[in-house]
Amino acid sequence: MKLKEFFAPKTEKVDEEKDLIRFLSEVELFENLTRNERKNLSQHLYERTYKEDEIVFKKGYPNVVMYVVKEGELQTFLDSTDGESLKTIKPADFFGEVGLFLEEERTATIVASKDSILLGISKRDMNRFIDEFPSAGSKILRKLATVLCTHLINTNKALAGKRDAFNTLKKQLEDYEYQLQELKSSPEVESGKS
């Protein structure tokens, strides 16, 4: 046996690792990382397989793991899983990032709507990675800030749209009410009543 093989036995795992490192470059959060940094990060990733309709976590659970979707599709629910899905999560998306910063509980329930493969990284490992590799860490954090800001802007826009719609509805309602009042106070209605 060669010495090198003894210390680093070649297995299928090597190819898997390469795939994983390549995949990480497709994830928005990690796209700026160098290959070496991605390799180091991949050491902390746990690959999990979920079947259709399997729950990843529920609202109210402690924030422990952040996930990146490798394959499949998942749905976000705010209240119960019977209700309408808030958002569909697709490959190369990530979720559970809130836990990196806040000690709060999970704010939504995530359910796999197709058979999915997720890459989980524990909150503590992620924070340690950011501390241990500051340059990679700052890239991830900057990207994360961009993503969160985009979310915020989109939410604001959506909110503004909802507010406009609400205002038009309100105005229409007021108009109808006014018309109704006028109709009530007009003499024909009064005479009809009597």
Partner 1 sequence: MDRIRVIRIVIGIMTLGIAVLGILFYKSILSYLVISGILAYLISPLINYAQKFHIPRALSILFVYLIVIILIVILINVIIPQVKTQAEEASKFFKQIVKDPGAFSLKSLGLDGVSRFVDRLQTRFTFFNVDEYTQMLGEKFVGLINAIPQILINSLSGIINFLAFLVVIPFVCFFLLKDERQLMKTFFSWIPNRYFEFSIYLFEKIEDSFGRYLRSILLETIIVTILSYIGLLMLKIPYALTLSIIIGLTNPIKFFGPFIGFVPVILVILFSPVPNVMVIYAILMSIIIQQIDSNILFPSLVGKGLGMHPLWVLLTVIAGGYGFGVLGLLLAVPVVFLIKTVIQVSATSLRQFEII
Q: Looking at 57-65, 83-91, 168-176, 181-189, which segment touches partner 1 (CB under 8 A)?
A: 57-65
Binding mask 30-49 for partner 1 (x = CB under 8 A): ------x---x--xx-xxxx
Contact call for residue 163 and partner 1 (CB under 8 A):
no
Pairing relationship of beta strands 116-122 and 46-50 according to DSSP bridges: antiparallel
Q: Which string of b and e fits 183-192 if b means at least 16 CB within 10 Å?
A: eeeeeeeeee
Cβ closer to partner 1: 54 or 93?
A: 54
Distances (CA, A) of 123 to 54, 65, 67, 107, 192: 22, 5, 10, 16, 72
Measured from the CB atom, the residue of 28 and 115 that comes closer to partner 1 is 115
Note whether 45 and 122 are within 8 A (CB).
no
Q: Determine the Cα–Cα distance for residues 48 and 158; give it in Å rounded to an integer.
A: 33
Shortest approach of partner 1 to residue 120 CB, angstroms?
7
Question: Looking at beta carbons only, is 3 or 194 nearer to partner 1?
Answer: 3
Quick one: which of 18, 62, 154, 167 contacts partner 1 (CB under 8 A)?
62
Give the residue among 14, 60, 30, 23 at the shortest CA–CA distance from 133: 30
In contact, 102 and 94? CB cutoff 8 Å? no
Query: Chain centroid to CA 173: how far?
Result: 37
For residues 122 to 141, the per-residue mask of contacts with partner 1, x marking binding by CB under 8 A and - elsewhere, is: x-x-------xx--------
**Binding positions for partner 1, rule: CB under 8 A:** 7-8, 13, 36, 40, 43-44, 46-50, 54, 56-58, 60-62, 64-65, 120, 122, 124, 132-133
